[in-house]
Amino acid sequence: AQSVTQLGSHVSVSEGALVLLRCNYSSSVPPYLFWYVQYPNQGLQLLLKYTTGATLVKGINGFEAEFKKSETSFHLTKPSAHMSDAAEYFCAVTGSGAGSYQLTFGKGTKLSVIP
């Protein structure tokens, strides 16, 4: 069984400030980890993913995330927030083995960017 916990359902940052969205997971097998972004009234768009290899993963729009196995974390960061980053962000996990095709989502974190 796998689960995802996103700390903070709502995060506010000032424009230009650091964005940090937290995600912790539990998985009985080595995980694949994802961050998705959802803009209002739209579907989910992949920001970045970790499968194997380098633990620091860079995504679109200047976001990056680091897989820390010892902390079971996959926090999302961006050095400088932009107004266009205002959206809801979802962390998701799946197992890495064959047949591990169920994607489990966290409850989401809504990011507000204050001018």
User: Considering the rule CB under 8 A, would residue 22 count as an interface residue with other proteins?
Assistant: no
User: Considering the rule CB under 8 A, would residue 42 count as an interface residue with other proteins?
Assistant: yes
Is the dihedral angle over the CA atoms 36, 38, 44, 46 positive or is it negative? Answer: negative
Non-local CB neighbours of 27 within 8 Å, separated by 6+ positions: 2, 72, 93, 95
Amino acid at 59: G
Total chain residues near other proteins (CB under 8 A):
27
Residue 26 CB, shortest distance to other proteins, in Å, is 15
Q: Measured from the CB atom, is 79 or 97 closer to other proteins? A: 97
Contact 4, 24 (CB under 8 A): yes
Candidates 56, 70, 101, 115; binder of other proteins (CB under 8 A) is: 101
User: Considering the rule CB under 8 A, would residue 46 count as an interface residue with other proteins?
Assistant: yes
User: Considering the rule CB under 8 A, would residue 32 count as an interface residue with other proteins?
Assistant: yes
Contact 37, 87 (CB under 8 A): yes
C-alpha 73/C-alpha 68 separation (Å) is: 5
Residue 45 CB, shortest distance to other proteins, in Å, is 8
Contact 42, 56 (CB under 8 A): no
User: Considering the rule CB under 8 A, would residue 50 count as an interface residue with other proteins?
Assistant: no
Binding site for other proteins (CB under 8 A): 9, 32, 34, 36, 41-46, 49, 51-52, 90, 94-96, 98, 100-108
